[in-house]
Structure 1
């Protein structure tokens, strides 16, 4: 049992937040993998016992062989030492492999749990949190949980058991010498205690600096075209280099703080060894004690030095990993915003009529984008949304798929409110092609197959042909196996757009949302894709956003949206005849086209 002062010192070193984090880790990951930790603990116990046995044998080695000069003892003691060393070696291997396997399983499980929790968040969450910080949390959190548990288990099983075993050897050989060696522990604990708060503050600053560096670097790489176009390399280099220099200084402060425990332990260890040598030497020369006792205690003291040092700095070593574990719990404790309540019905699609009824919505508080928007997109027909930028047209698309929740009003499909059906059934009924095409860094085939992962090769090729993408895909050296690069960087804008359209063809959903789907195409490609889209729109409810009015003149109904409301609706001819807002847009666009043609 620890002395009361030492126990209180250790207790005060651990903050309530640290205790809560460690307790939760043991209740979750520790409980799930207790068998693996128990096996590892047994291996470490055998290691500690072997180490203690070797230290104890040093007394017999010195006394029986070198003092008594017993030749038979040479073989017995040498064989025992060899056997203990082999046992210790196999135990070390066993605990290392077992602990590594448990740790890798914890990392894998936690990364899956974090991924599930992040995927259950809505689009608003990802808009408010930078990708760089999410990636750091994703990796550091899972690693932190493993490292905290591994540090504690190894400290208890390997280091603490070794110190206890070696202390018992010292007590058996000479209690007073053992007392001298143990006097350094309270001093070491007290000295390290003052470093912990300093390390925690430094590491917190270090983490935020790392997030800033990753954030700005990631944005630099993704925005490289803009950077080069505006010749921003030098100011960007200066800014990021400044962040890196600041992180380097913080890291150096961290190293200095962490390393301060080393000299303390070295000095205290030297004092303990010096006192033991002084006492033991005097006892051997003047008090008739055997040299074996002296060497056994010295061996035990030297062997206990490293595990004692690791125990003394355990809290410091855990600081960074504890922060990672807390970040893990922050994500796991988030409410799963996109998790449907049990028993939520699926969307029962009949025709696909979409109805907005007095919908209000804003991305930020007190800044509404939609102000009482109402309209009906009839089933099986094509409806178009036109109007000035910022009027809320793309927001309509996002609300239909429930990327965001409306503040008031309702959106219904075939009379079923979209917030009262499962998100999965809702989104499975919708095909979406945006002007901001996102392609994953896989092959052309993989990106098209996202529309329907179970699709056959023939269906993928048919979808590509329908989107007028097959011909340019076959010009690639690897055809459909060609890599598209990060965000589709290996393709032109028109090629990316047509692959996205092929993905929508493959999904073959009864409701189709087209947000400037042909905006990136040249005139010839646009004409071809418009033909394909018209065939895709047959017998489907289609909602189209277009700034170029010639792409929506054939829509069954056109809604003019301005200021978050529908200000006009009708077919193309009706709206032109009214000479209202639509007519103004029409005149501006076609007058501009005529001027360009005459020029």
Structure 2
């Protein structure tokens, strides 16, 4: 690996970039080492065959100058066929092995990134734009594959090919070889001026690609707003600007990568012309006594050096463009996990599901949304949390589900601090129905079954019936196999919420969390769902957040919140008689 590091340092000036490349190579060799070993062996064969091709020119010229020697012609012909067959087989094995390794890297990195995302807390996704994450998952994984391919093909195949051909040149004409090598330093000096510019342009191109994804996502998710407010031209202009920026920077990168070609062509042309003139002079003057076959072998090797030398000259520029994406990939992988899931911690022990919030304070950054909150949520009963918007109700729900950890204080279930138990075991004990209903882009049957993957079709239908969803599902053309579209786009708001409630019914958890669970239902459906939730909730701990007090009139305990504090608590009857904040909310809704 030290040898590899020295080779990389020749092409990568920045130590940080060198570390990124080494890290990527270690990863690539660890996961795809078998295929890279096969590919590199095939490259050695291809490189060797290139040298043999140039060397065979001496045999070909000598054989053609003595056509009467049939045995010599036959032998040379067989050698040529063998060399080209060897090269073709090697090239095939190289292509297949490198493709398998590259595709494996993309797949493994994308899984690795997604697993990292699954370890993050909700605040990670709230604070980052999804377009940026999507770009890193797709573009950065491609960059990782591209960078390894560049290093493998340029540093291995092209370098070996060049060494093989130079060996033939030195063997045939050492003096002329020395003259031909003067072009190398000139090309290297030219490349150093391009690298910094490539890095700047590529970084801006990544930002423009993220903007394209952002516009697409916002247009898709907010198409109603776009149409109602006639924002089509605005969105077109945003997309046009982002596409134009990507196009401009892609063209700039192409120019920077291609600028080496005319310079290398001119330098190579001058070198070849000079060598041809010198070699002809040597033949005419007899200075070194070289045969026509030796000179042809030398010239062939020199001409064949052009392509690998050109690719090596472009390696630094192309690698710099890929490095931007690889750095973004490792930035995401190395990000600190915002929520410790405690995969190795103790499981939540089964119990009556008595929930407590003990002196809980929580802040988003510098802004406190809860302060010194105490709540005692009795097991097997219904607890309602009410208050105006922004009071902190949903934050309490998020803390109970452990989507966040308290800044101070703790949340316990049956005396167990939920921040110390396995999150998987914690969430197996909970079912949730939220105001913002989310459905996966699959069938109704599968959306409900996600709550319990081993559930039978009859179990799913029973849960749908309990949520008063069976009738409308059965009336659909494909019944339970009806696709719901992206986030349930093919269904109404009320239908989506009933499916979400059916999902909670199917999970049959000991804790039922309801966050405005009936907000999208009409009055009749709401009454039916309320009855169903009463049946489902018997013997279970229920926590309900709502603005509509009609849904929590049967609650055993009510907490009234305001500005992150609990300002009143008690039974519904006691709070109504107290003529406090809860009575004010009640009077405003019911007159």
Q: Give the structure-2-normalised TM-score.
A: 0.95
| Distance in 2, Cα, partners of 1:88 & 1:435 | 65
- Render the CA deviation track for 1:402-457: whole Å, top value 9, x for unaligned: 11111112211112122122211111111100000111111111111110111111
Unaligned regions of 5+ residues in structure 1, if any?
Answer: 1-6, 592-599
Whether the 8 Å CA contact 1:13–1:196 is kept in 2: the answer is no
Residue 107 in 1 paired to residue 102 in 2? no
| Distance in 1, Cα, partners of 2:280 & 2:68 | 21
Q: 1:204 to 1:334 in 2, by over 3 A?
A: same
What SS is found at the alignment partner of 1:35? helix
| Distance in 2, Cα, partners of 1:9 & 1:228 | 53
Whether the 8 Å CA contact 2:188–2:313 is kept in 1: the answer is yes
Q: 1:428 to 1:243 in 2, by over 3 A?
A: same
| Distance in 2, Cα, partners of 1:437 & 1:463 | 17
Partner of 1:362: 363
What SS is found at the alignment partner of 2:65? helix
Aligned length: 584
Q: 1:557 to 1:248 in 2, by over 3 A?
A: same
What SS is found at the alignment partner of 1:419? coil
- Render the CA deviation track for 1:333-387: whole Å, top value 9, x for unaligned: 223344445752221232111111221112231x111122112111100011111
- Render the CA deviation track for 1:239-273: whole Å, top value 9, x for unaligned: 22122222222222222211111111111111111
1:540-551 mapped onto 2 (5 Å cutoff): 540-551=540-551
Partner of 1:23: 22
Residue 166 in 1 paired to residue 168 in 2? no
Q: CA deviation at 1:126?
A: 0.7
Partner of 2:142: 143
Whether the 8 Å CA contact 1:30–1:149 is kept in 2: the answer is no
1:553-564 mapped onto 2 (5 Å cutoff): 553-564=553-564
Partner of 1:344: 345
- CA RMSD in angstroms comes to 1.8
1:550-589 mapped onto 2 (5 Å cutoff): 550-589=550-589
Residue 254 in 1 paired to residue 253 in 2? yes
| Distance in 2, Cα, partners of 1:247 & 1:83 | 47
| Distance in 1, Cα, partners of 2:141 & 2:415 | 44
| Distance in 2, Cα, partners of 1:428 & 1:360 | 26
What SS is found at the alignment partner of 1:362? strand
Bigger Cα displacement from structure 2, 47-56 vs 281-290 = 281-290
Partner of 1:312: 313
| Distance in 2, Cα, partners of 1:332 & 1:253 | 29
| Distance in 2, Cα, partners of 1:408 & 1:575 | 29
Q: CA deviation at 1:143?
A: 2.3
Partner of 2:197: 198
Partner of 1:597: none
Q: CA deviation at 1:145?
A: 2.3
Q: CA deviation at 1:180?
A: 2.4
Q: 1:356 to 1:143 in 2, by over 3 A?
A: same
Partner of 1:596: none
Partner of 2:322: 321
Q: 1:494 to 1:507 in 2, by over 3 A?
A: same
What SS is found at the alignment partner of 2:397? helix
Partner of 2:151: 152
1:54-93 mapped onto 2 (5 Å cutoff): 54-66=53-65, 70-93=69-92
1:100-499 mapped onto 2 (5 Å cutoff): 100-287=99-286, 289-341=290-342, 344-365=345-366, 367-499=367-499
Whether the 8 Å CA contact 1:467–1:529 is kept in 2: the answer is yes
Whether the 8 Å CA contact 2:344–2:422 is kept in 1: the answer is no
- Render the CA deviation track for 1:205-226: whole Å, top value 9, x for unaligned: 1111211221122111111111
Whether the 8 Å CA contact 2:40–2:152 is kept in 1: the answer is yes
- Render the CA deviation track for 1:540-583: whole Å, top value 9, x for unaligned: 10001111111111111111111111111222222221111111
Whether the 8 Å CA contact 2:106–2:144 is kept in 1: the answer is yes
Q: 1:16 to 1:9 in 2, by over 3 A?
A: closer
Whether the 8 Å CA contact 1:9–1:190 is kept in 2: the answer is no
What SS is found at the alignment partner of 1:163? helix
Q: CA deviation at 1:50?
A: 1.1
Whether the 8 Å CA contact 1:442–1:483 is kept in 2: the answer is yes
Whether the 8 Å CA contact 2:8–2:18 is kept in 1: the answer is no
Q: Give the structure-1-normalised TM-score.
A: 0.94
Q: CA deviation at 1:9?
A: 12
| Distance in 1, Cα, partners of 2:298 & 2:11 | 32
Partner of 2:3: none
What SS is found at the alignment partner of 1:420? coil
| Distance in 2, Cα, partners of 1:328 & 1:449 | 34
What SS is found at the alignment partner of 2:62? helix
Unaligned regions of 5+ residues in structure 2, if any?
Answer: 1-5
